[in-house]
Amino acid sequence: MPRSSPRRTTALLAILLAALLLVPMQVADARLGSKEWKAAETLFGELFSQVGNPEGKRAVLETIAKDGSGRAWRLMTDGLFKEVVLFDGLMTELATSSAEHGAIMQRTIKGMTGADEARLKVLQARFTELDHEIKAEREALAAVTKAVTDGPEVLRKNILQRAASGEWTARAAALRVSVMTMKEKASKAYLLKTLSNDKDPRVRMAGLDALGSAPEGFEDLVIGRLADGNWAVRLRAAAICQERELHKAVPHLINSLSKARPRVAEALGEALRGLTGENFEPYPDIWSKWWADHKDDFKTDIAVKKGKKAEFAEVNFYGVPIKSDRILFIIDVSGSMKLKTKNDNPKDRWKPPPTVTGRKAPPAPPPPPEEILSGPKIDVAKHELKKAIKKLPKDYEFNMIMFNQGAAHWNKTMQKATKKNKESAYQWIRGLKPHGSTYIDGALRLGFKVAGLLNYDKRYPNINLDTIVLLSDGAPTDNGFPVSKLMAPKVILEHVREWNKGKQVVIHCIGVDMVEGIEFLKDLAKENGGTYVDR
């Protein structure tokens, strides 16, 4: 990926400014002179071959726009799509590097060779660079998008026409532009068609993200995505309805409940509770009955279907209710997990979940004492993990990752909770042995790779997990072996913010006899819509 050359860019900018100062002020519809245009073209080529520099890119596009001609609009259109290619290149590199990182982590779960250690250092140094470059490139793409929306309508027609047959990244960029100029006929038409019909949910998600900050005219477009065929898109639409206080969305949210799986149902329920002030569980029968008594308050002719009673299975891990049918368990197998739990009377730590209106009283906690083991923490973790998997319905999906100074998954992809797969999982669980350090960052990176969020390719639209449950008994370390160092929690949190940008994945955290690292796990859960519990 090309790196910035500040001296050269500054020099080119100075040449351009000098050239502009040497000619008299031109009227708005006049072309730039040949020298001025050549200087602008040269600077454009320099800037748009580099990552970042949003201010410089915006400035040169503003200069080019003064030419007011077809060549200017073609060059500005090129600028937007060059920026898309730069961003796409960075994300693809991140996905490729993460895949290699995951493969090495698989090998180093039991130890690390010199070659593995050397390669990991190179990869991790590049990850740090990529974090900064992606952030800079995201800012540059936003600046370029703003520049083209400030230009004339003919420029945007060029962009929309060119994007229609381009890659999903180009269509997503054009969709953002159309949201920002939705009052224009061409933009409105592109927005309506693409948001509803584009087959790639990443494009539709980009449109929703843009609509989430639109000043007006976004309401019906967002509400329409509550019936989207992709669960992650529906999730984002529900969140925007709540954030922007779209009360007209209430009947649509209720109708969406009837088709929602557990994770989406929770998001819909949260939006409904926020918009109505009620405190019901996300069950279609309860909300449809409520609507029958309150529909006159909303002044709408939207019909709400009579909902069926929800039949979601109760899944628990260490007593934590998990409202999902696509779960990834991430289990600490570091050396300290061989120590005996300090929890001499485990049942005293189990507390009932809070009662929610519209739901029957929860079963009396705690589980029978004989179901809660004391002894080595790894034995308790194995027991609780097996117990949770045993109760999964066969149409639910799950996977597992174990970590110490490395990280390894049970399966590359999510698996149905069939009897055969459960038996395979139990065998894998029996083989867990405590050893090494606590490389939580590597385990989470592997987890989001399984989710598809790090794969900037065709797998991404089929994100196939929505909940992570992380269990650990210590503060996060790096992947050094046999000697490891503590890893800064803020770095891990920053990584997760990037991987889980749309917060599609909930992360619950369980701390076992935690002394250090409690605040980190609490922050990790809080920032990702989950719960932290101390066991």
Report which residue type is found at 448. F
Q: How confident is the model at residue 309 (pLDDT cuts 50, 70, 90)?
A: confident
What pLDDT is recorded for position 357?
57
What confidence score (pLDDT) does residue 362 get?
55
- Residues 6 or more apart in contact with residue 467 via CB below 8 angstroms: 263, 322, 323, 324, 326, 327, 328, 505, 506, 507, 508
| Whole-angstrom distance, CA of residue 176 vs CA of residue 301 | 31
The residue length of the chain stands at 535
Place of tokens 């900018």: 13
Identify the CA nearest to 282 among candidates 306, 253, 304, 303. Answer: 253
Q: Tell me if 512 sits within 8 A of 380, measured CB to CB.
A: yes
Contact 405, 437 (CB under 8 A): yes
Q: Which two tokens stand for residue 267?
A: 């998001």
Mean residue pLDDT across the chain: 87
Q: Which residue has the tokens 């974090």?
A: 131
Q: How far apart are CA 74 and CA 384, in angstroms?
A: 61
R_g of the chain, CA atoms, integer Å: 27
CB-CB neighbours of 294 under 10 Å:
12
The torsion defined by the Cα of 257, 531, 525 and 482, in degrees rounded to 10, comes to: -130
CA atoms within a 13 Å half-sphere pointing along the CA-CB vector of 445: 28
Secondary structure of residue 254 in the 3-state scheme: helix
User: Are the CB atoms for 209 and 233 separated by under 8 Å?
Assistant: no
Cβ–Cβ under 8 Å, residues 148 and 61: yes
Just give the CATH number of 315-534. 3.40.50.410
Q: Is the pLDDT of residue 21 over 50?
A: no
Residues 467, 347: Cα–Cα separation, whole Å: 26
Distances (CA, A) of 19 to 39, 134, 265: 8, 33, 60
Domain ranges of the chain: 220-312, 315-534
CA dihedral 65, 69, 74, 80 (to 10 degrees): 20
Q: Confidence class of residue 522 from pLDDT cuts 50, 70 and 90?
A: very high
Over residues 515-519, mean pLDDT: 88
CB 478 within 8 A of CB 487: yes
Three-state secondary-structure class, residue 403 = strand
CB–CB of 398/315 below 8 Å? no
Is the whole-model pTM more than 0.75?
A: yes
Q: HEC string of 133-195?
A: HHHHHHHHHHHHHHHHHCCCHHHHHHHHHHHCCCCHHHHHHHHHHHHHCCCCHHHHHHHHHHH
Q: Residues 253-279: what's their mean pLDDT?
A: 94
Q: With the C-alpha atoms ordered 297, 300, 304, 310, is the resulting torsion angle positive or negative?
A: negative
Q: Is the pLDDT assigned to residue 342 strictly greater than 90?
A: no
**What's the farthest any 2 CA atoms get from each other in the chain?**
89
- Give the pLDDT confidence of 497-509 residue by residue, as tens digits: 988 988 889 999 9
Query: 356 pLDDT exceeds 60?
Result: no
Compute the average pLDDT of residues 267-272: 96
Amino acid at 38: K
Give Cβ neighbours of residue 115 (< 8 Å, ≥ 6 apart). Answer: none
Placement of tokens 């080019």 in the chain: 64
Confidence at 517, pLDDT banded by 50, 70, 90: confident
Residues 406-462: pLDDT tens digits? 999 999 889 999 999 999 999 999 999 999 999 999 999 999 988 876 656 555 556
Report pLDDT for 25.
Answer: 35
SS (H, E, C) 297-357: HCCCCCCCCCCCCCCCCCEEECCEEECCCEEEEEEECCHHHHCECCCCCHHHHCCCCCCCE
| CA-closest candidate to residue 535, choices 473, 467, 469 | 473
Q: Residue 364: what pLDDT?
A: 54
CA distance 226 to 231: 9
The CA-based angle 274-357-219, given to 5 degrees, is 20
- 56 secondary structure, DSSP code: H
Confidence of residue 22 (pLDDT cuts 50, 70, 90): very low
CA angle, corner 146, sides to 140 and 148, nearest 5? Answer: 105
Q: Tell me the average pLDDT across 131-142.
A: 94
Q: What is the mean pLDDT of residues 214-225?
A: 94
